[in-house]
């Protein structure tokens, strides 16, 4: 069962993961049945073996998850800012902590967070006026079977849409448990997996995704450690799609103050040396888009 769980974590398509886990359960069941059929063990022996095996599988997987999440990161250093922070003065209430960097307007991991009281704006259909489904599909350039990570997914506004365009897994990475609770209550497609984590400490395995998406989060999301981990999680040739607030006077009606925004040149510089920018675009008055390929 442990081997089945480990194998499932490396499989790209969620349907195949179900088959892998079912196969593991079938093998476990048949081993126990064979002991009874051959008359070499009592039923109590088999049940005890199942209990011990379940305990070991749980212990092994839990230990692996704890060790993976406890890997050292540089999120506490001045140059490493949280990747999933999607708050700013015009988007809702925020709760600053002493870890915030007042000189840059950015915050470190665990700094500003979006107020759950204002989470309704994240599901406002008017967001599609500035980043439409057609534009997002064009930027992601999906064939239909890719695994995608939505960094700072909030309540799943775009993650749930992306899930309908691919048969692969869509990892909705979100820092706040409250947002994920709202996402669950709203309902998520079967191929969406909720990942509670700061994307600067991205827990996805190496080579596990084909696309990464950051909508309105990258202006708070340029930690070197986070970008390194993201590049590691992407498969060769994988794409990182960034959509964020334009640093231009005509785009200031919405979003954060000008000094909190990044130009495309700054984005290009921050993505080095892990990514190569392949396209830049203005998708609407408020938003620019940058598509970068893993080197």
Residue 137 falls within a domain, yes or no?
A: yes
> DSSP states of 20-84 as a string?
HHHHHHHHHHHHHHHHHHTTSS-HHHHHHHHHHHHHHHHHHHHHHHHHHHTS---TTSTT---SS
Residue 111 falls within a domain, yes or no?
A: no
φ, ψ for residue 175, nearest 5 deg: -80, -30
Closest CA to 201 of 173, 237, 243: 173
For residue 213, pLDDT over 90 is answered with yes
User: Alpha-carbon distance 124 to 131, whole Å?
Assistant: 12
Residue 63, pLDDT score: 86
Residues in contact with 120: Cβ distance below 8 Å, sequence separation at least 6, in sequence order: none
Residue 61, pLDDT score: 84
Give the chain's mean pLDDT.
83
For residue 102, pLDDT over 50 is answered with no
Task: Report residue 156 CA to chain centroid gap.
Answer: 11
The DSSP call for residue 121 is: G
**133 and 22 part of one domain:** no
End position of a domain, from candidates 37, 69, 101: 69
**46 and 155 part of one domain:** no
For residue 219, pLDDT over 50 is answered with yes
End position of a domain, from candidates 49, 69, 89: 69
For residue 227, pLDDT over 80 is answered with yes
Q: What is the CATH number of the domain that holds 176?
A: 3.40.50.150
**150 and 12 part of one domain:** no
Percent of all residues in the chain with a pLDDT value above 70, rounded to a whole number: 82
**201 and 266 part of one domain:** yes
**46 and 140 part of one domain:** no
Q: What is the CA radius of gyration of the chain?
A: 22
For residue 194, pLDDT over 50 is answered with yes
Q: State whether residue 136 is helix, strand or coil.
A: helix
For residue 97, pLDDT over 50 is answered with no
User: Alpha-carbon distance 218 to 261, whole Å?
Assistant: 9
Other C-beta atoms closer than 10 Å to the C-beta of 265 total 11
**227 and 126 part of one domain:** yes
Q: State whether residue 131 is helix, strand or coil.
A: coil
Higher-confidence residue: 26 or 82?
26
Residue 217 falls within a domain, yes or no?
A: yes
Residue 31 falls within a domain, yes or no?
A: yes
Mean pLDDT for 63-74 is 64
Least confident of 19-23, 96-100, 244-248: 96-100
Q: State whether residue 224 is helix, strand or coil.
A: helix
For residue 87, pLDDT over 60 is answered with no
End position of a domain, from candidates 31, 50, 69: 69
**14 and 140 part of one domain:** no
User: Alpha-carbon distance 180 to 132, whole Å?
Assistant: 23
Highest mean pLDDT among 92-96, 98-102, 222-226: 222-226
For residue 66, pLDDT over 60 is answered with yes
User: Alpha-carbon distance 73 to 226, whole Å?
Assistant: 8
Residue 92, pLDDT score: 35
Write the pLDDT tens digit of every residue in 104-130: 233 334 445 677 777 788 888 999 999
Residue 222, pLDDT score: 67
Residue 61 falls within a domain, yes or no?
A: yes
Where in the sequence is the domain holding 261, given as residue range(s)? 116-294
Residue 95 falls within a domain, yes or no?
A: no
**48 and 170 part of one domain:** no
Mean pLDDT for 233-247 is 96
Q: State whether residue 96 is helix, strand or coil.
A: coil
Residues in contact with 271: Cβ distance below 8 Å, sequence separation at least 6, in sequence order: 227, 240, 277, 290, 292
**180 and 48 part of one domain:** no
User: Alpha-carbon distance 65 to 201, whole Å?
Assistant: 13
Write the pLDDT tens digit of every residue in 116-171: 777 788 888 999 999 999 999 999 999 999 999 999 999 999 999 999 999 999 99
User: Alpha-carbon distance 159 to 217, whole Å?
Assistant: 14
Q: Exposed/middle/buried for 288, CB within 10 Å: 0-12, 13-18, 19+? A: buried
pLDDT tier at 69 (50, 70, 90 boundaries)?
low
Write the pLDDT tens digit of every residue in 26-62: 999 999 999 999 999 999 999 999 999 999 989 988 8
φ, ψ for residue 288, nearest 5 deg: -110, 165
Encoding tokens for residue 242? 């960034």
Number of independent structural domains in the chain: 2
Residue 276 falls within a domain, yes or no?
A: yes
The DSSP call for residue 206 is: T
Higher-confidence residue: 202 or 242?
242
Residue 96 falls within a domain, yes or no?
A: no
């Amino acid at each position: 069962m442990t081997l089945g769980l480990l194998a499932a974590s490396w499989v790209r398509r969620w349907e195949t993961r179900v088959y892998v886990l079912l196969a593991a359960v079938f093998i476990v069941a048949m081993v126990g049945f064979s002991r009874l059929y051959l008359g070499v063990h009592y039923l109590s022996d088999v049940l005890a073996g199942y209990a011990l095996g379940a305990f070991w599988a749980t212990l092994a997987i839990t230990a692996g998850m704890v060790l993976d999440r406890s890997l050292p990161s540089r999120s506490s250093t001045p140059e490493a800012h949280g990747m999933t922070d999607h708050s700013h003065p015009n988007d809702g209430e925020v709760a600053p902590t002493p870890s915030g960097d007042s000189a840059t307007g950015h915050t470190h991991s665990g700094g500003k967070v979006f107020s759950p009281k204002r989470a309704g704006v994240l599901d406002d259909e008017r967001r599609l006026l500035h980043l439409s489904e057609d534009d997002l599909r064009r930027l992601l350039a999906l064939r239909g079977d890719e695994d995608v990570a939505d960094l700072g997914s909030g309540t799943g506004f775009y993650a749930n849409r992306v899930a309908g365009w691919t048969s692969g897994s869509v990892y909705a990475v979100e820092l706040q448990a409250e947002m994920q609770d709202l996402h669950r209550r709203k309902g998520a497609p079967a191929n969406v997996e909720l990942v509670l984590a700061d994307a600067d400490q991205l827990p996805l395995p190496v080579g596990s995704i084909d696309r990464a998406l950051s909508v309105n989060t990258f202006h708070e999301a340029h930690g070197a450690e986070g970008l390194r981990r993201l590049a590691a999680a992407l498969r060769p040739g994988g794409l990182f799609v960034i959509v964020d607030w334009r640093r231009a006077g005509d785009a200031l009606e919405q979003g954060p103050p000008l000094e909190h925004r990044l130009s495309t040149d700054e984005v290009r510089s921050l993505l080095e040396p892990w990514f190569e920018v392949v396209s830049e675009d203005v998708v609407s008055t408020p938003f620019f888009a940058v598509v970068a390929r893993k080197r």
